[in-house]
Amino acid sequence: MDRKQFELGDIVQMKKPHPCGTNAWKIIRMGMDIRIKCTGCDHSVMLPRLEFEKKLKKILQSNATEKATDTNE
């Protein structure tokens, strides 16, 4: 299985939605543990990297594309 590439600042979708109804999370800390923040209610959760990778569904907005558009302006 191909591992998804994610970076600090990416907006990701998890397999299960947050109780507030939003399914978009922003990665705010990376290391052995990953801290993500709900974009709807600003609740943050810290998960071990392996658990995060299992629960990750897809990357909605990459921080790399955001950086590329910023440098073009």
Q: Which residues are paired to 35 by β-bridges?
A: 29, 46
pLDDT at 6: 84
- What residue type is 58 in one-letter code? K
Q: List the chain pLDDT tens, one digit each, 73 residues.
A: 466 688 899 999 999 888 888 899 999 999 899 999 999 999 999 999 999 999 999 888 888 665 555 566 5
Per-residue pLDDT, 12: 93
Token representation of residue 73: 């302006």
Q: pTM score, two decimals?
A: 0.77
Contact 25, 3 (CB under 8 A): no
* Model pLDDT, residue 71: 60
Q: Which two tokens stand for residue 48?
A: 């071990």
